[in-house]
Amino acid sequence: MGRITVVGIGPGPTSCLTKEVEGELVRSDKIFFRTGAHPVYEWLRSLGKDVLCFDLFYTTRWPNPGDIYEFMVSVLLREVALKGEAIYAVPGSPGVLEDTTNLLRLRGPKEGVEVRVLHGVSFLDQVLAEVNHDFCDGWQVVLPLTHLQHGLFSKSLALIVCQIEAVRFPIEDPRVDLTMKFLLDSYPPDHPVTLVWTDGLPGYKTHAKPIALKDLVHEYGKGKFFASLYVPPIR
């Protein structure tokens, strides 16, 4: 039986790699990356590893939003058919909002491929480290187009809004204005929120800024890497 190992490379800095994931990457000669815009990609390339990324796929308009991930999984399964093994690296942790992991778990066994998952530090760890939130109060992880748009959340619990760009296809322009609009349907304009993001390559340093909900679009500006929004509850 062939095997795909999915590894979580964390929210950015190589210092966030778990020892288990680091060992797997160093052992491997060839690694597939969902995106090459990550410090771990550059680090492994500097070590002379054969690194391949799917960035070009994001420049194509696919018929359906999920087709890009189905194609990535097909490439990985083809690699296993040819070589017997594939190593696949994703930002954050493979089990947190990672469509390709879910598809591999679904399609892999049907094609006789074992899917092994090595978890990493997720962006949720990053966000929660930046805000003063008591876990005893509970919290919700939501997406703009899946949950906010349809009112599938509770104002009495804190929200972590992920993928605030609110796009269905990666090549679309960010629509943070939609995220703000959905939230303003339930929260007052001056409701305090915290915008959390990274500054991208080379360091991927995490930033957090408390703002008023009404200022979200202005503060997001021309774009921020892996941006999320923490929305405290209304008591």
Per-residue pLDDT at 45: 95
pLDDT value at position 38?
92
* Tens digits of residue pLDDT in 55-92: 999 888 899 989 999 999 999 999 999 999 999 999 99
Tokens of 160: 């972590």
SS3 of 94, please?
A: coil
User: What's the confidence (pLDDT) of residue 226?
Assistant: 84
Question: Nearest CA to 100 among 78, 123, 122, 68?
Answer: 68
Q: What is the mean pLDDT of residues 13-35?
A: 95
Instruction: Give all strands of the β-sheet with 113-118 in edge-to-edge order.
Output: 50-53, 30-33, 85-90, 2-8, 113-118
Q: Which of 155, 204, 156, 211 is nearest to 183 (CA)?
A: 155
Mean pLDDT (the chain) is 94
| Parallel, antiparallel or unpaired: strands 30-33 and 50-53 | parallel
pLDDT at 223 over 80: no
> 235: how many CB neighbours lie within 10 A of its CB?
6
Provide the whole-model pTM.
0.90
Q: How confident is the model at residue 7 (pLDDT cuts 50, 70, 90)?
A: very high
- Residue 19 to residues 22, 85, 142, 184, Cα–Cα distance (Å): 5, 21, 30, 42
Confidence of residue 198 (pLDDT cuts 50, 70, 90): confident
Q: What residues form DSSP beta bridges with 206?
A: 198
Q: How many CB atoms lie within 10 A of CB 221?
A: 8
Cβ-based neighbours of 210, under 8 Å, separated by 6 or more: 192, 193, 194
**Mean of the pLDDT values across residues 194-222?**
90
pLDDT in tens, 86-127: 999 999 999 999 999 999 999 999 999 999 999 999 989 889
Average pLDDT of the segment spanning 220-224 = 84
Work out the number of other CB atoms within 10 angstroms of the CB of residue 155: 16
Residue 23: pLDDT above 80? yes
Q: For 139-180, what is each residue's pLDDT tens digit?
A: 999 999 999 999 999 999 999 999 999 988 877 889 999 999
Peptide bond into 232 cis (omega under 30): no
The single residue listed with the structure tokens 């066994």 is 109
Q: In the structure encoding, which two tokens stand for residue 187, read together?
A: 């929260």
Pick the closest to residue 101 from 121, 71, 73, 141 (CA basis): 73
